[in-house]
Each structure stands twice: as structure tokens, then as C-alpha cells.
A = this chain, B = another copy of it.
Amino acid sequence: MLIVQKYGGTSVGSLERIRAVAARCVKAQREGHEVAVVVSAMAGETNRLIELTSQLRPGPGDREVDVVVATGEQVSAGLLALAIRELGGQARSFLGHQIKILTDSAHARARIQAIEAERLRACFAEGCVAVIAGFQGIDERGNITTLGRGGSDTTGVAIAAALGADACEIYTDVDGVYTADPGVVPGARKMERISYEEMLELASLGAKVLQIRAVEFGMKYGVPIHVRSSFSEATGTWVVPEEASMEDIVVTGVAADRNESKITLRAVPDVTGVARRIFSPLSAEGIIVDMIIQNISHSGHTDVTFTVPKGDRERAIELLAERCPELTGEGANLAWDDDISKISVVGVGMRSHAGVARRMFEALAEEGINIQMISTSEIKISCVIREKYSELATRALHDAFELERPEGERRALEGERPAGRG
């Protein structure tokens, strides 16, 4: 088999841990597999490097920040190749420009466009483990680019796709994907399998085990992803194409995201084009708007509420005040709130089961938690609540959907209709 393994910063956080990773690589190779390993920077290193650059006031998406930050993964790759050789294995490190991993030129959030697999195949042919610096690539002109936080996951899955690997193993400091954050919900259960779509929702909702882009890549190219612990041999969670049996599981997991802020524009004229006037300037500046709620109109006016990443809230307010003063006049009509958490339940079974929303709202109401905003998708329901209730709400929902019990033993939803496709 051809296996891609990806190790996060904690897994390569010291020389001892790098040696443990090396042992795993050598073991997989001795079992007869061809092995490519993608590594992150040693824990803390990326933050150290970003801190250095930030003191020199870089521009947004600055080419030179990528030059500095990419060194973290370069160091890990060289050290792991040495550690594999120390154990008697053979290994060779590869940087973005050596493979090469071609990206667009969007520094700090580049997207992989193509990967040349020839040098990696030549490496396997020589009996070497290919050790690849994650998180980075080069653009057409040879500039170093980085893929954004968690980008090494994407490198791993993209390499697996390019090589047609049998699996991409994502080694991390947790042993799989849980029904909720085990730090918040002691009874949280590790899932055996989860669909790409569910994983995508969970990742978008703040579950940090896997980067969104990585899941997208996996889904697009059908790469089976195995999220597992680098500190044990236990099977983790497989992220795979949706299977028919998955629809029987109504709710797969609960996620909380405290990283958003809420912005409200009050008494906005309810006329054609007003949404465009509000959201175009934000989009032009790369600010990602998540939930949007528009209330029913009263005497020709309406309220518009939406959420943005906390880090972009200040800039978003500035932009709105500057670009649409007619909507935000005198500041009085513009309000914001950083004190929120977005709590979500996810499951592909929602497509064929009713009653999920009702049980969610009931569970929150029973705890006296007020819901500020609601948004739904085909396989997800999200509610914005006050941040201080975040853990309480997570536990309440985990209980309400009996996620601590094996999937077959959960009680049915009230008003449930039998599973039917379409």
C-alpha cells in the first residue's frame, strides 16, 4: 500500500517525539508500504516566527512573512529525515519547491493547484521514506507561499490525492473525532466513521481536528482520511464517502465555535440592493461573513444581523461606517457583540429525519439558554447563544441526542418519519 502520514506540531514537538514518529514511519515501511510523511512545524515554532514578523508590521498576505514562517516545517522535515536514518531507515526531505507543490500567489492562504509526484515516486523507488514539509508551496514565479493555519493537513491529503495513496493518516494529539469536545463533555464518544460532509461541517464549526480544505480535498479526490493519535496504536476515526448506513445516525456531533462576533444593523431601509451595499465592502476586504439573519420588515425598515470572525469585527465595523454611512448613520444603528458562541449539531441523517431542531431548541430552553440567531443547512443546525453558556449548551445537546450511547441504542426522535431517500 501507499500511505501518506501527516504529523502535527505536538507530534514533532521535541527530538524524542520526532524519534517516535520516525519509528512509526520505519515500521510502516518495513510492513511493506510506500510511505510519504508530511510534517508541521515543531509545536510553538510557527507562533514564534509569526510573532517575530508581526513586530515589523507586515502587510496583509505578506510575501516575506511566508518566507519566514515556512522555515518551521523545513526544520521539522530535515530533522525527521535524520531521525529515520538514525533508526537505520532511509529518508529524504522535500520542500515545496523541490516536489513541487504549485499554489496560487495568495500568501498566507494559498491554495494548492497542482502537485508533481515524480520526485516522490523516484524516492519510493530508492526505498526511501519521503519526508515532506507541510503548509507550504511555491507559486508560478518561485515565491514561497503558505496555506494558512492547519495547512499541513491539506498538504497531506493533497499529496495522498496526487500519489493516489490508499490512505492519508492524520496523526494528532487526540485519538480521533469525537461527538463533542471531550474537555467539555466527559462522556463524548470517539466516532469510528464520519462522512466528508459531516466532517466539513464540524471543521467549519470549530472542531479543530482537521482543516476544512483538507476535508474538501479528500472529498473531491476520494482520499480515505484516518484521524488518529500519534501517541497510541489505536484506530482513530475514518473520514470517508457517505455510506447508506450513516443516514440512520441523526446527529453525529456537537460543536461550539467561540470565534465569531455578531454585528447588527438596525432600521435599515428594506429596499432592493441593500444587502449588496452591506456585504460587498466586507467581501472585497476578504472578511468572511458566516450567518446572516434579516428580520421581517416594519414600516419599510428591517434589522440585519450577521456574524464575522472575531478578529475581523473591528475592521468590519470601520468598513461599514465608512462605505455605507447612509445605513449606519451616527453610529446609533450599528451594534456589535463579541460575547457569543455558535453551537451546532451536525449529521447527514437530518436529511431524512424530522424533529432535530425541536429537540435542540427544547434542550437549550430547559437550561434557560436564550437563542439569538438560528441558521440551518441540509445536515446542520446552528444557534448563536451567549458565550458563557457554551459548555453548558454543548453538554445539554450531547445529552439530548444521547451521543454518549452507541449509535444503535439511541431513542428515536419524536415525530420521526421513517428514513427515506430524497
Which A residues fall within an 8 A CB radius of B? 15, 18-19, 49, 52-53, 55-59, 62-68, 70-71, 74-75, 77-79, 81-83, 85-86, 91-93, 95, 97-98, 142-144
Contacts and interface: CB of A to CB of B under 8 A. Distances in A.
B56 A15 contact: yes
Contacts of A49: 75
Q: Which of A64, A77, A98 has the most CB of B within 10 A?
A: A64
A241 B191 CA distance: 74
A67 B77 contact: yes
Number of copies: 2
B68 A79 contact: yes
Contact of A82 (B58, B77, B83, B93): B58
A78 B63 CA distance: 9
Contacts of A97: 97, 142
Contact of A64 (B15, B67, B81): B81
Contacts of A70: 74
B75 A56 contact: no
Dominant secondary structure at the A interface: helix
A53 B78 contact: yes
B67 A78 contact: yes
A18 B91 CA distance: 36
B67 A74 contact: yes
A95 B78 contact: no
B93 A67 contact: yes
Contact of A68 (B78, B86, B143): B78
Contacts of A66: 78
Given A55-B15, A82-B56, A97-B142, A71 B64 contact: no
Contacts of A62: 82
Nearest to A56: B82
A83 B56 contact: yes
Contact of A92 (B58, B59, B63): B63
A280 to B, nearest CB: 29
A64 B78 contact: yes
Q: Which of A49, A65, A67, A74 has the most CB of B within 10 A?
A: A67
Given A64-B93, A68-B74, A78-B64, A86 B56 contact: yes
Contacts of A18: 56
Contacts of A53: 78-79, 82
Contact of A79 (B56, B75, B95): B56
B52 A65 contact: no
Contacts of A79: 52-53, 56, 64, 68
